[in-house]
A = this chain, B = another copy of it.
Amino acid sequence: MSITEKRHTDPERAQSRRRQVLDAAALCFSRSGFHGASMAEISKAAGMSAGHIYNYFDGKDAIIAAFVEEEVERVALLLRDLEQKDDPLQAIVDESDNSVDEHMAPDFWRLKLEIFAEASRNPKVAAVMVNADLRMRTQFRAIVKAGRERHGLAADDATIDGRLEATIALFQGLALRALHHPELDKAALKRAYRVGLGALLLS
């Protein structure tokens, strides 16, 4: 979890090297999975010797953890955007078409599943995820609470928490649907999502 930053004389270069590794990892992980991707494969994709990677990461686990942490950071950013909107709840429903598309993009869900599976076995990764989910949920929770109050809906803690979790489950479940049913009718799905999200958030 703790990103061991070895001292480097040129922190910018170091940062860019770490980027290279993480980008390479993104490629390899989605191609071969966390464990299918060898350090050799990653190092080749990163344009750097395998040994050198260890100057930037403590080991393969650290790469995975850093990678997960980044992924997770991205979600936090999206939520911060959402928070800025006039009526975030309505925005979630209105923009759910895009969200559905995003969650079902092959690269996206493949990587997500990889992360989930790793977390279910690797406690370090699990810790990163649980922590990230907590931050994400906290942010999201504030949005939902404010939104529901503004809409004059029940906004007690339990209700909020329940709706929150169900909503997240609905989105996270998309990766699994993409896996199980690659040819599903996305248009129809999106309509259903508007119904489901509307019910969970705005009723």
Q: Assuming A120-B113, A137-B181, A177-B172, is B192 touching A162 (CB within 8 A)?
A: yes
Question: Chain A 116-160, CB within 8 Å of chain B: the 1/0 string?
Answer: 110111000010011001100100000000000000000000110
Does A189 belong to the interface (CB within 8 Å)? yes
> Do residues A165 and B179 form an inter-chain contact, with CB atoms below 8 A?
no
Pick from A12-20, A28-36, A77-85 the stretch touching chain B: A28-36
> Do residues B179 and A120 form an inter-chain contact, with CB atoms below 8 A?
yes
Partner of A169, one of B121, B174, B199: B174
Q: Assuming A120-B179, A179-B129, is B170 touching A189 (CB within 8 A)?
A: no
- The number of chain A residues with a CB under 8 A from chain B is 55
Give chain B residues whose Cβ lies under 8 Å from the Cβ of A200: 192, 195-196, 199
Secondary structure at the A interface, as helix, strand, loop or mixed, is: helix
Question: Chain A 97-115, CB within 8 Å of chain B: the 1/0 string?
Answer: 0000000000001100110
> Do residues B181 and A193 form an inter-chain contact, with CB atoms below 8 A?
no
By Cβ-Cβ distance, the 3 closest A-B pairs, closest first, are: A173-B173, A117-B117, A199-B199
Beyond A165-B189, A175-B176, list 9 extra A-B contacts (CB 8 Å). Answer: A32-B121, A109-B120, A114-B117, A116-B117, A116-B179, A129-B179, A158-B188, A169-B170, A170-B170
